[in-house]
Amino acid sequence: MAPKLLITRKLPPDVLARAARTYDVEYNTDDSLWDNAQLAARAVGKDALLATVTDRLGAEAIERLPQSVRIIASFSVGTDHIDVEAARLRGIAVTNTPDVLTDATAEIALLLILGAARGAAAGMASIREGTWANWAPTGMLGISLTGKRLGILGMGRIGRATARRARAFSMEIHYHNRRRVEADEGATWHESFDGLLRVSDILSVHCASTPETRKLIDARALALLPRGAIVVNTARGDIIDDDALIAALQIGQVAAAGLDVFNNEPNIDPRYRTQANAFLLPHLGSATLETRNAMGFRALDNLDDFFAGREPRDRVG
Ligand code: DGY
């Protein structure tokens, strides 16, 4: 008998086709978001869930899952939407999808760096709104990347891929990680977070969201950046204190921000919308068909391993 799999969101056709070859699949036909009660009801009789970052699988949601569920394969590298410990206590395995979205996310980090540094949001608005009067020698001046210091907070896979790409823009790379990284792309390690902040003309956030990193980028941290720095985030919105960042953008302590992730997505802090020096994207880090296929296949690889009695390669809990 094929294991029964609940897929909580609409996934790319090739991923669904592969899932259907191995599993007895129930799909989310209208791609709506399910609350805990709906998820628990859909999961009745299922052996596995293939879930995404929009499934808020906290302790209560995990608690409500039926006994039949033995594994949650997340279609994401981040697992902050899952209470992995609560799952462990229920005997539910958890996997994620690292590696396959590294390059796509690093590409978005570079897009944010460029977009923020060159005032792309304000420039595009002037075209769309018809307010672009003429080319002006002193108009819409951005910040050059050449020779600037890029501070990478979290030198994991995506941090390193971002560093490699930033080198092509002749940037000087610095990073902070708990430990020095061996393959650090020749970047300068800062043992302390504050040390990194002090040299970061552009700060790019790549650490995981954990209780320790929540609101790590607060008013104190932003004040340590060189005046007129740029802040970029492709990791998780909750690493940034929105009140502090918006205040810093308003007074020019931070010249511009490039954000792909937000607190309370998609209901972001409305003040960002009117902040001309904020270049904003709607969580597009992994949003290419190639990458979303690869994420789906990786999640299915993990399920295949699990149901074949092997240890899934991306087991996180
Ligand atoms: C992840 O995989 O954690 C991303 O945020 C989804 O793109």
- pLDDT of 200-245, one tens digit each? 999 999 999 999 999 999 999 999 999 999 999 999 999 999 999 9
83-119: pLDDT as tens digits: 999 999 999 999 999 999 999 999 999 999 999 999 9
By C-alpha distance, which of 111, 131, 130, 129 is closest to 120?
A: 111
pLDDT at 43 over 90: yes
> Is 21 noted as a catalytic residue in this protein?
no
Cα–Cα distance between 219 and 254 in angstroms, integer?
A: 11
Instruction: State the number of CA atoms in the 13 A half-sphere of 185 facing the CB.
Output: 22
Q: Report the separation in Å between the CA atom of 77 and the middle of ligand 1, taken as the mean of its atom positions.
A: 5
The position carrying tokens 């796509």 is: 104
- Residue 51 near ligand 1, beta carbon < 6 Å: no
Atom of ligand 1 nearest to the CA of 287: 7
Widest Cα–Cα separation across the chain: 71
Whether 265 is catalytic: yes
Q: In this structure, which residue's CA is closest to atom 4 in ligand 1?
A: 76
Nearest 5°: phi and psi at 23? -120, 160
Tell me the C-alpha to C-alpha distance, in Å, between residue 316 and each of 11, 71, 95: 22, 11, 5
Taking the alpha carbons at both ends of the chain, their separation in whole angstroms is 26
Cβ–ligand 1 distance for 119 under 6 Å, the answer: no
> Looking at 160, 176, 283, 292, which residue is catalytic?
283
Q: Ligand 1 center to residue 157 CA distance, Å? A: 13
Give me the residue label for tokens 């050449």: 146
Write down the pTM of the prediction: 0.96
Distance from the alpha carbon of residue 223 to the mean position of ligand 1, in angstroms: 29
Query: Is 79 a pocket residue for ligand 1 (Cβ < 6 Å)?
Result: no
**Chain segment 251-300, per-residue pLDDT in tens:** 999 999 999 999 999 999 999 999 999 999 999 999 999 999 999 999 99
Q: What is the mean pLDDT of the chain?
A: 97
